[in-house]
């Protein structure tokens, strides 16, 4: 089920890109020519990098995790969907050109 949620996150991003391509004739990877889009994307990646370095911790919302059998937190469907969205947004500049 988590794999399906991850795939739906990826499909969601591609549907948004397809909608933009049809409605405003924005070509594949064209959103990366927008300074605003690039600043937002750099900010998100920078915040995650600082979290990985231990500067702060970005807590995962409770609704995106489910308790495991041993009391630990496991990724829920919302977390998997969010990872699918983030993975697709970060990988699009590599596949777009």
Angle at 79 between CA 89 and CA 63, to 5 degrees: 140
Tokens coding 84: 């699918």
Question: What pLDDT, in 10s, does the model give residues 66-93?
Answer: 666 655 556 788 888 988 988 887 776 6
pLDDT of the chain, 97 residues: tens digit per residue: 889 999 999 999 889 888 877 888 766 667 778 788 889 888 988 988 888 888 887 666 555 556 666 555 567 888 889 889 888 877 766 665 5
CA–CA distance, 6 with 94 (Å, rounded to integer)? 19
CA–CA distance, 67 with 62 (Å, rounded to integer)? 10
Reference 8, options 77, 93, 96; nearest CA is: 77
CA–CA distance, 93 with 20 (Å, rounded to integer)? 16
């Amino acid at each position: 089920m988590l794999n399906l949620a991850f795939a739906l996150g990826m499909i969601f991003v591609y549907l948004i890109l397809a909608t933009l391509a049809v409605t405003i004739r924005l070509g594949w990877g064209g959103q990366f020519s927008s300074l605003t889009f690039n600043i937002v994307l750099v900010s998100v990646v920078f915040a995650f990098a600082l979290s990985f370095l231990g500067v702060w911790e970005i807590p995962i919302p409770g609704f995106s995790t489910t308790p495991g059998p041993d009391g630990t937190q496991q990724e829920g469907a919302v977390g998997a969907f969010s990872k699918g969205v983030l993975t697709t947004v970060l990988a699009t500049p590599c596949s777009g050109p």
